[in-house]
Every structure is written in structure tokens, then in C-alpha cells.
Amino acid sequence: MPVMSGIDSTRHIRRFEREEGLEPTRLIALTGAANPNTRQEAFSSGVDLFLTKPVPMRELRGMLEEIRREAERILEETKDV
């Protein structure tokens, strides 16, 4: 990333969510760095899912579809409140 790393971005996003009292969004790291240290650092920073390239598009599509369904369910629940 040109301005900051994905790990730094994740830390900023998580801090902002805490400061603003927001529900955490799901964060997916998609990287070519497959080493265990990078993976652990990503999870420690707040990443929910860590994927290394190449990722089968069918697998990625399924994950995103699951997240979409979860978001729709949450929106539906809050609409009735």
C-alpha cells in the first residue's frame, strides 16, 4: 500500500471503531506474504481473516457472499428497531 501497510491500516480502523463506539467491521487480509510472523501480526492487529495469494476466486466469492448475507441480516434486524 502506498501510504501505510495493511497492518497499520487495520490498527487505525480498529482504533477508530473503538473511539467512535462502532461495531467492528470484518477485515480480510489478502497478501502474498505467507510467512507465519506476518500472519500472526495481522491477526494481532485486528484482521479477521488472512488469505494468501493466489486465492481461488470461488473460495473468495463464497466468503464475500457470507459477509453480504450477514450484513443484510443485521440491516434487517436494525430496521425493525
Neighbours of 22 (CB within 10 A): 11
The percent of residues above 90 in pLDDT, for the chain, comes to 58
pLDDT the model gives residue 74: 84
Question: Rg of the Cα trace of the chain?
Answer: 15
pLDDT digits (tens, 9 = 90+) for 48-77: 999 999 988 998 899 899 989 988 998 888
Which DSSP string corresponds to 41-67? Answer: HHHHHT-SEEEESS--HHHHHHHHHHH
Report whether 17 contacts 26 (CB < 8 A). no
- Averaging pLDDT over each range in 1-10, 12-21, 62-71, which range is the top one? 12-21
User: Residue 1: is its pLDDT beyond 60?
Assistant: no
pTM for this entry: 0.77
Taken in order of first residue, the domains within the chain and their CATH numbers are: 6-79 (3.40.50.2300)
Nearest Cα to Cα of residue 47 among 66, 25, 74: 25
Q: How many Å apart are CA 81 and CA 56, to the nearest integer?
A: 39
